[in-house]
């Protein structure tokens, strides 16, 4: 997304989908079903396909159908953003636990190529990232963290990329 209106100096990651994502647990399977039943999320037309047992991997799917198609016959941008909006915040809240407050602060979405197929987004939250947050924050301190996620088709072609900024605060 170099020279983009988002100001991001990173390019979206054109990579195929993981063939062997980390295993789900019964708990994350239930969370996945809950996400997909939540009216606000369900209305996007997207579905959470997979949540790793440790909450460090999530895959969402935006099918190309009558619910997600816009007036010009491509995937509606609101469906794309709605599909990815709550994911990093939820992942961080689950991994960091009750001692932290996590909120979405801002987002910038860049449309790269019109979507006319099912699109996917895979979210990774490395252990090093959450360790860095824990190490950097004392009680009452906060930081902003940036994450880049791409929406790709099955071959890995990037159709949109979103940079999310999250506010993270260690509670006292």
Q: How far apart are CA 145 and CA 14, in angstroms?
A: 22
Find, among 157, 40, 155, 158, the residue nearest to 110 by Cα.
Answer: 158
Q: What pLDDT tens digit does each residue of the chain (172 aa) get?
A: 445 444 445 666 666 688 889 999 999 999 999 999 999 999 999 999 999 999 999 999 999 999 999 999 999 999 999 999 999 999 999 999 999 999 999 999 999 999 999 999 999 999 999 999 999 999 999 999 999 999 999 999 999 999 999 999 999 7
Look at residue 97 and tell me if it is in a domain: yes
Range of the domain at 92: 26-170
Judge whether 161 lies within some domain.
Answer: yes
In a domain? residue 32 = yes
Q: Is residue 7 part of a domain?
A: no
**pLDDT at site 18:** 85
Q: What share of the chain is helix, strand, coil (3-state, %, to 5)?
A: 25, 30, 40
Instruction: Indicate whether 52 belongs to any domain.
Output: yes
What is the tally of structural domains in the chain?
A: 1
Rounded CA gap, 42 and 81, in Å? 13
Distance separating alpha carbons of residues 44 and 82, to the nearest angstrom: 6
* Residue 12 belongs to some domain of the structure: no
Phi-psi region at 90: left, alpha or beta (left = phi > 0; alpha = psi -120 to 50): alpha
pLDDT of residue 15: 66
Residue 2 is predicted with a pLDDT of 47
Look up the pTM and report it: 0.89
pLDDT at 13: 62
CATH of the domain at 149: 3.10.129.10
Give a yes or no: residue 8 inside a domain. no
Q: Does 11 fall in a domain? A: no
């Amino acid at each position: 997304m170099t020279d983009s209106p988002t100001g991001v100096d990173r390019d979206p990651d054109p990579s195929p989908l993981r063939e062997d994502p980390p295993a789900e647990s019964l708990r994350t399977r239930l969370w996945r079903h809950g996400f997909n039943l939540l009216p606000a999320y369900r209305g996007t037309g997207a579905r959470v396909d997979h949540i790793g047992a440790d909450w460090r991997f999530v895959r969402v799917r935006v099918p190309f159908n009558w619910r997600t198609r816009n007036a010009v016959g491509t995937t509606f941008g609101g469906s794309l953003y709605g599909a990815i909006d709550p994911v990093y915040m939820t992942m961080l809240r689950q991994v960091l636990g009750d001692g932290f407050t996590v909120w979405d602060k801002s987002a910038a979405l860049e449309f790269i190529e019109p979507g006319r197929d099912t699109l996917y987004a895979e979210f990774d939250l490395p252990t090093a990232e959450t360790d860095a947050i824990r190490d950097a924050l004392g009680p009452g301190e906060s930081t902003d963290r940036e994450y880049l996620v791409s929406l790709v088709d099955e071959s890995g072609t990037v159709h949109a990329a979103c940079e999310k900024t999250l506010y993270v605060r260690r509670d006292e």
